[in-house]
Amino acid sequence: MSNTGKDPYMVPVVYTPIKRVLDIFGAIVSMIISLPLYLLISILIKSEDGGKVIFRQERVGYRGGQFTIYKFRSMVPDAEKDNHPLLCREDDQRLTRIGRFLRDHHIDELPQLWNVLKGDMSFVGPRPERKCFVDAIIEKNPDYRYLYRLRPGLFSEATLYNGYTDTMEKMLERLRMDLEYLRRQSFLVDAKIIILTGWSLLSGKKF
């Protein structure tokens, strides 16, 4: 972290508890509305290769703790042999036919509404990453630790404009954007990110 003597990333006192209440309400409503889609996607994934519908993975989140993130499975069952971590790339052959569509349109992340409801995540915040990649990023820029002050987000400005990260360069650019969000966070900023992300998803934009 920077040693300037002044903290550039203070989280407003009233921001966290009110945001948490809105997250709970939004997660419950969204899960109810999305139930038919959950059922359809589950059937499609199961019918393609008979594998598990939900993918689970450990991620680093609020205050540096780890939690289990949930996604609709988008890759073949043995995508990471020997537990060797690999980033998904645009032309990744491990993606299933259904999984590629889900990932292109970020529909695979719908189960993370459960993470939001549990308090692991928020609707808006930095995207959570695996510890091995977090450690690698911190070696390049220790300011990553400032992100521990926020719950990771289902939506983020960095994902909207920087897309999925498959290189260290993209990870560092995402960090820069996440730190900028941390600096200017507000309910208006969150609302803008949610609206722009929702519009991008509904319009079929890939990002």
**Residue 94 CB partners (closer than 8 Å, separation 6+):** 75, 76, 79, 88
Measured CA to CA, the distance from residue 57 to residue 73 in angstroms comes to 11
- Residue 142 or 202, more confident: 142
pLDDT, tens only, 2-57: 455 567 787 777 888 999 999 999 999 999 999 999 999 999 999 998 899 999 99
- Domain assignment present for residue 3? The answer is no
pLDDT class of 107 with cuts at 50, 70, 90 = very high
- Domain assignment present for residue 146? The answer is yes
And the tokens for 110? 């719908």
Angle at 191 between CA 125 and CA 197, to 5 degrees: 70
- Domain assignment present for residue 51? The answer is yes
- Domain assignment present for residue 4? The answer is no
How many structural domains are present in the chain?
1
- Domain assignment present for residue 50? The answer is yes
- Domain assignment present for residue 107? The answer is yes
pLDDT above 80 for 167: yes
pLDDT at 88: 67
- For the chain, report the end-to-end CA distance as a whole number of angstroms: 30
pLDDT at 2: 46
- Domain assignment present for residue 177? The answer is yes
Give the predicted TM-score (pTM) of the model. Answer: 0.88
What residues make up the domain containing 156?
15-202
pLDDT at 4: 52
- Domain assignment present for residue 2? The answer is no
Q: Are 84 and 46 in contact (CB under 8 A)?
A: no
